[in-house]
Structure 1
Amino acid sequence: MGSIRPIRTYHFLPYKYGLELLLDIGHIETLKHYVLDSTLHQVSFYEIIFIQEGSGTFTLDENKMSIAPRAIIFISPGQVRRWEIEEKVKGYTLFFDKDFLHLFFSDELFLYRLQYFHQYLHPAEMHIAERSFGKCLALLQEIEQEFEQIQNDSNHLIRSILYQLLIVLNRYYADVYDVQRDTYIQPDFYRFRSLLEKRFLQDQTVETYSKMLNVSPGYLNKICRQFSGSSAKQMIHNKLISEIKKELRQNKSAKEICYQFGFSDPSNFNRFFKKFTQVTPHLYRKKI
């Protein structure tokens, strides 16, 4: 079997406009070598895509979604994606580094409170009504106008508009998928989401996370089921499987991935992967 080509990774360019600005906006139709890249690629930052026109499919990790008017797609750092265009796509893409918000807001959990990022249970996209989509476009156009006349205080104004847009999108997402809208209750759940993203390689048991959060394993499972529909253990396993699949799509051997993820030997790794996917790592990679 031929070697697997490594997936291209796009990184943020903070000094594109001269001063450091950890957010950017663009028109999809003008970014053909980035947004409309038909090869597998990933980004190291957060991105939200707003489709005004066009058709086709957009694959994010293993999830295929329809490209259609008023579709909004949410991409978290490290997710692998691919465009397959049928009719010309028009719309906006908004991308930003987490520090764009973290440096100025005291809430380090803010991006984990948003239901649509780091999502493993519900879709990472939604289709909304024309009026709601229009409200999003109006905010995007405000950001775009500020980019046309960048000033020393532009980052503050853009950050305030982004903050408003993210909250509005969270409300729409909660209504579409009937999930918790108020993300400022039960902060332990969002702390767990944050810890899981950062520590899944080192810590893979409910007991370890419950100790870090200073709560009981039973309580952690309870709030995870309440806010995600899955137990804490299922959330850990979903994260592991998602990341293992990503590594299998890169040019890494199953043995290398096995030890990277802390499995004692390849046979345990194979059993774990097959339990959740019904195929071995080797067959999964062959299927790709």
Structure 2
Amino acid sequence: MIRYTPLDATLHRNAGLQAPPPGQGPFRHAAAATASRLVVSELDQALAYYPLGFREVPGDSRFDLIAILSLEPGVNYFVSPEGKWRAPYVPGWFRGHPFRLLPKEGSDQHMLCVDMDNGGYVAEAGVQDQRFFEPDGSATPQLQAILKFWTAYEGDYHKTLSQVRQLDQHGLIVPWQIQLQDGEQQPTRNLEGFFRIDSRKLDACSGDALQELQVSGALRLAHAQLLSMPRMGGLVEMMRLRQSGLAATAPTAGFGLGGDTLDLSFLRS
């Protein structure tokens, strides 16, 4: 369960976070995530390791830019059993855990909040723990860095939403029809819920439309998504390794383009 609570210098004067136990990584909370929200400032790093796509926001008419982390529900191929991340770049959405910058009710202001049920929160921080506040009530340097991170992330997220909305308004975001086969004797199944850029529609855009997309940065985002699509082959290989019980012995599987041995027919353009 996630329970975000605004941090308060009085109520949480002595609170903090415990470090993970020895040998444990800090990303156990992401073990069941099949995708991660991304912002445009992450494109260069994320493109190297993940297939990028879009996902509908529940109860809304917009899309989020995402990194796809799994082809199976309830499992994240990039998190080891010890909670360590299996790729050199970790999406900011998970690096900023257990904090979030959330809007204050009835106001356009935001508050830095912490998930009280994340497992690391302690009301009385010890010597080895990361405290939120100094004895005088001011934020510790670590908490100031976290606030700076989430403030920048929030601004970048709105920039990302604007670019994604622009691509959608031009009709460039379409369902990504991905077909998977769990075994040679098994029927194919469709993986639902992911969206992609339609390369043919992008090629058919007018010069004015392309200039508009270029000026806003949306064209770069569209190209990044298209260039990332072969990374889906790596996820297929990671799924096969996991199903065969070999995932733990090949933690870096899927970080390349997939190689010639993978069937990439599910990448429909």
TM range (shorter): 0.3 to 0.5
Considering Cα pairs closer than 8 Å and 6+ residues apart, tell me whether 1 or 2 has the greater RCO. Answer: 2
Q: TM-score, normalised by structure 2?
A: 0.34
**Higher share in helix:** 1
Q: TM-score, normalised by structure 1?
A: 0.32
